[in-house]
């Protein structure tokens, strides 16, 4: 039990009458990379939003890092060590790279409440270190995010999760809008995270990417988990049949 | 070969090819404008706009004109500082002019003298209560309280009921103007104490304006508050997901804007030695215009106090320039309107250009 980083039990979310997520039971072990797949509206993002407490779940339980948790909001989840790279890139376009990396948790020199003086030197240094650690290439840190390519933006978003000692990283379609080379860059970052033993949940539609990167694949369909398979026990066709509903029923891991 | 500087991860960039700060363009516009007035003056009037032409005065520049240029925009400039941080964080404030009116009335009634030329002050609001000849700190604190309250209402409406800032502050604009008229049933409030009158005397408005501008430029550049202003104006959802308390921040932004408007009211009523219910009409639009001319983007996330100060100077130069050219005041308003639209159009172009280059 102690090597389980994240566990959900009967996690359920209703939006009014819409059952977006029903009784999701999920586990993630230390150092494990898991992919979540499924069609649009299958409940993947909803599932992530419950874990990260962007929304409050209707019912169910969540354990994280050995404790049952009830995060009040995304800040609490993040402080506990869950870092998320959101689908719509939670970056401020008009700020530079260090400001974005430290957004919402700026390092300050003097604490004067909201008017605390920022420690810009420290944040710049830490940003450089984080970018080096994740092998992200950014020409000029002082440029605003607006001036950067989609790949660079995504890399900044991912580097942000790696800047802070996180216990779980969640990526919601990190390469959906990227070109071939940019996708490779992001995938390399994910491999670096795997080598560092950092657990990851990857939401992706890209079958090749999923089979390249993760250990285990969980398929969502109509708000339910319909498959939970080790990579070596399945193949692309198998996963597609679960996604489309050609195969049904919860496929459990063999023992 | 272009000189390159090494970035992170082995990439390099041309450090010299950095984009100009937007303020530089605005400053250039100011210089061109001054140059244009100078040229027109020399050609058509045989007089200089900027330089001293009188033999009996021993200065290079026409100092009286320079003083007027900045003096006449200082009070609206104080409001514009508050409006700038509102716009940067993605909002808009239409209520500042009315807050000036209401605050001037209320604060002035706590700054009155008991007797005028030996007779009881005919305009005193609180003569019966004996609230006359109070120390200057009382009306100033009353004013700050008024601005704080108005800003708190604005900010809370926007943060908690999710009313768009345009509507919330439009409501405050009408309400505060109503309060200004109701306070003394439309009567002007006059005869302030000497210490209150000293606040807006001479070049004091300029000193107050510049000090506040420096203070807020530092706050926007170097504090967490400033960083969050830009973040929220840039991408509110991102700011929220990053853990910034967007609601509290918005309230604080509007509270600060309200307090700055109330300080403008103190300076204005002190300078005029009277408070009237119609004070500050259209100031909100002038303040927004100064910010927009100064390069503050109405879509939020971009701009600076320095830009707004230059925008205010452009305003001052236009007004002084028109007076210098002996043109009717009516033209000023028309030209102001054209310049505001021009500034926004330029901002849009600049954004599109940048998007194409990126």
* Residue of B3, B7, B255 to mutate for A, most A C-beta atoms under 10 A: B7
First to last CA, chain B: 22
DSSP B49-60: SSB---TTS--S
- pLDDT band of residue B8 (cuts 50, 70, 90) is low
- We find that the CATH architecture of domain B22-350 is Orthogonal Bundle (1.10)
Q: How far is CA A179 from CA A94, A175, B251, in A?
A: 23, 8, 41
The proportion of chain A whose per-residue pLDDT surpasses 90, expressed as a percent, equals: 26
The proportion of chain B whose per-residue pLDDT surpasses 70, expressed as a percent, equals: 93
Asked if the C-beta of A95 comes within 8 angstroms of chain B's C-beta atoms, the answer is yes
Q: Determine the pLDDT at residue B305.
A: 97
Interface residue ranges in chain B relative to chain A, Cβ cutoff 8 Å: 5, 7-13, 15, 219, 222-225, 227-228, 230-231, 233-235, 237-244, 249, 252, 301-302, 354, 358
Residue whose C-alpha is closest to residue A103's, from B219, B245, B305? B245
Least confident of A55-69, B95-109, B301-315: A55-69
| Mean pLDDT for the stretch of residues A209-233 | 91
> Is residue A101 a contact partner of residue A141, using CB atoms and an 8 Å limit?
no
Least confident of A8-12, A150-154, B69-73, B157-161: A150-154
Put simply, the answer to whether A93 touches B242 (Cβ < 8 Å) is no
| Mean pLDDT for the stretch of residues B221-225 | 95
Give helix B246-272 / helix B63-88 axis angle, nearest 10°: 160
| Mean pLDDT for the stretch of residues A180-198 | 85
Put simply, the answer to whether A92 touches B243 (Cβ < 8 Å) is no
Instruction: Please say if the pLDDT value at position B257 is more than 90.
Output: yes
Q: Determine the pLDDT at residue B70.
A: 92
Q: Determine the pLDDT at residue B101.
A: 96
| Mean pLDDT for the stretch of residues A93-111 | 88
Distance CA B186, CA B277 (A): 6
- pLDDT band of residue B336 (cuts 50, 70, 90) is confident
A vs B: CB pairs below 8 A? 111
Residue whose C-alpha is closest to residue A225's, from A37, A13, A61, A45? A37
Instruction: Please say if the pLDDT value at position B13 is more than 70.
Output: no
| Mean pLDDT for the stretch of residues B100-125 | 89
Give helix B329-357 / helix B305-324 axis angle, nearest 10°: 140
Token readout for B246 is 């967007």
Instruction: Please say if the pLDDT value at position B4 is more than 50.
Output: no
Q: Determine the pLDDT at residue A255.
A: 38
| Mean pLDDT for the stretch of residues B79-88 | 97
* Residue of A139, A144, A148, A150 to mutate for B, most B C-beta atoms under 10 A: A139
Judged by DSSP in three states, B66 sits in helix
Instruction: Please say if the pLDDT value at position B225 is more than 50.
Output: yes
| Mean pLDDT for the stretch of residues B183-210 | 93
Most confident of A9-13, A28-32, B251-255, B288-292: B251-255
| Mean pLDDT for the stretch of residues B214-235 | 95
Least CB-CB distance to A132: which of B8, B230, B243? Answer: B8
Q: What contacts A11, CB < 8 A, 6 or more positions away?
A: A21, A23, A24, A25, A26, A47, A50, A51, A57, A59, A60, A61, A62
Put simply, the answer to whether A115 touches B224 (Cβ < 8 Å) is yes
| Mean pLDDT for the stretch of residues B55-79 | 88
| Mean pLDDT for the stretch of residues A155-184 | 81
- Cβ neighbours of A139 in B, within 8 Å: 7-8, 11-13
Distance CA B240, CA B220 (A): 19
Distance CA B173, CA B86 (A): 16
Q: Determine the pLDDT at residue B93.
A: 96
- Cβ neighbours of B225 in A, within 8 Å: 114-116
The ipTM estimated for the assembled molecules is 0.79
- Cβ neighbours of B215 in A, within 8 Å: none
- pLDDT band of residue B116 (cuts 50, 70, 90) is confident
Q: Determine the pLDDT at residue B269.
A: 95
The proportion of chain B whose per-residue pLDDT surpasses 90, expressed as a percent, equals: 61
Q: Determine the pLDDT at residue B2.
A: 40
- The domains of chain A, with CATH numbers, are 4-244 (3.40.50.300)
Q: Determine the pLDDT at residue B350.
A: 75
Instruction: Please say if the pLDDT value at position A114 is more than 70.
Output: yes
Q: Determine the pLDDT at residue B232.
A: 96
Q: Determine the pLDDT at residue B210.
A: 97
The position carrying tokens 């809008």 is: A177
* Closest Cα in chain B to A141: B7
Paired strand residues for A201: A34, A170
B121 or B206: which leads in pLDDT: B206
Instruction: Please say if the pLDDT value at position B96 is more than 90.
Output: yes
Instruction: Please say if the pLDDT value at position B180 is more than 80.
Output: yes
Least confident of B122-126, B143-147, B234-238: B122-126
- pLDDT band of residue B3 (cuts 50, 70, 90) is very low
Domain extents for chain B? 22-350
């Amino acid at each position: 039990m102690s090597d389980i980083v994240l566990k959900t039990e009967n996690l359920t979310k209703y939006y009014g009458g819409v059952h977006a997520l029903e009784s999701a039971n999920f586990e993630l072990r230390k150092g494990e990379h898991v992919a979540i797949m499924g069609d649009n509206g299958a409940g993947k993002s909803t599932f992530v939003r419950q874990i990260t407490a962007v929304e409050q779940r209707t019912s169910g339980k969540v354990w994280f890092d050995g404790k049952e948790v009830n995060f009040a909001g995304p800040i609490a989840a993040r402080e506990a060590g869950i870092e998320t790279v959101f689908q719509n890139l939670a970056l401020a376009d008009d700020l530079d790279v260090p400001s974005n990396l430290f957004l919402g948790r700026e390092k300050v020199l003097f604490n004067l409440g909201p008017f605390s003086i920022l420690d810009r030197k420290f944040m710049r240094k830490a940003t450089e270190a984080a970018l080096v650690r994740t092998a992200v290439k950014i020409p000029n840190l002082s440029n605003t995010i607006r001036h950067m390519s989609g790949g660079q933006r995504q890399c900044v978003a991912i580097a942000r999760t790696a800047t802070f000692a996180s216990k779980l990283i969640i990526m919601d379609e990190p390469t959906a809008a990227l070109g071939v080379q940019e996708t490779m860059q992001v995938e390399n970052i994910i491999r670096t995270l795997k080598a560092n033993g950092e657990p990851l949940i990857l939401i992706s539609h890209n079958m090749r990417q999923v089979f390249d990167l993760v250990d285990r694949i969980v398929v969502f369909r109509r708000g339910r988990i319909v498959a939970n398979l080790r990579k070596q026990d399945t193949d692309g066709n198998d996963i597609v049949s679960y996604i489309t509903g050609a195969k049904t029923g919860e496929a459990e891991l063999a023992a | 070969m272009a000189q390159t500087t090494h970035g992170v991860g082995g990439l390099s960039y041309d450090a010299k090819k950095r984009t100009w700060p937007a303020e530089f363009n605005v400053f250039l516009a100011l210089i061109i404008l001054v140059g244009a007035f100078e040229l027109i003056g020399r050609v058509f009037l045989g007089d200089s706009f900027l330089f001293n032409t009188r033999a009996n005065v021993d200065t290079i520049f026409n100092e009286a004109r320079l003083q007027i240029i900045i003096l006449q925009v200082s009070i609206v400039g104080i409001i514009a500082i508050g409006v700038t941080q509102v716009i940067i964080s993605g909002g808009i404030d239409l209520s500042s002019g009315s807050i000036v009116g209401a605050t001037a009335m209320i604060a002035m009634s706590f700054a009155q003298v008991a007797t005028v030329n030996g007779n009881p002050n005919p305009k005193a609001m609180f003569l019966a209560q004996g609230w006359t000849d109070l120390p200057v700190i009382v009306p100033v604190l009353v004013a700050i309280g008024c601005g704080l309250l108005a800003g708190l209402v604005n900010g809370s409406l926007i943060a908690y009921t999710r009313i768009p800032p345009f509507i919330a502050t439009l409501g405050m604009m009408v309400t505060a103007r109503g309060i200004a008229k109701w306070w003394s049933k439309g009567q002007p409030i006059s005869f302030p104490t000497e210490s209150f009158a000293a606040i807006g005397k001479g070049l004091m408005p300029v000193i107050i304006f510049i000090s506040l501008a420096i203070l807020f430029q530092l706050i926007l550049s170097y504090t967490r508050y400033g960083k969050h202003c830009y973040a929220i104006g840039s991408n509110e959802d991102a700011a929220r997901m990053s853990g910034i308390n967007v609601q509290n921040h918005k309230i604080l932004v509007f509270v600060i804007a309200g307090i700055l408007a109330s300080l403008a009211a103190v300076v204005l009523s002190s300078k005029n030695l009277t408070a009237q219910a119609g004070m500050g009409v259209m100031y909100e639009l002038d303040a927004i215009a100064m910010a927009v001319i100064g390069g503050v983007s109405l879509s939020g996330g971009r701009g600076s106090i320095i830009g707004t100060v230059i925008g205010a100077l452009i305003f001052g130069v236009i007004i002084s320039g028109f007076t210098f050219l002996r043109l009717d005041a009516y033209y000023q308003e028309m030209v102001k309107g054209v310049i505001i639209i021009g500034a926004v159009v330029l901002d849009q172009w600049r954004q599109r250009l940048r998007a194409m280059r990126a």
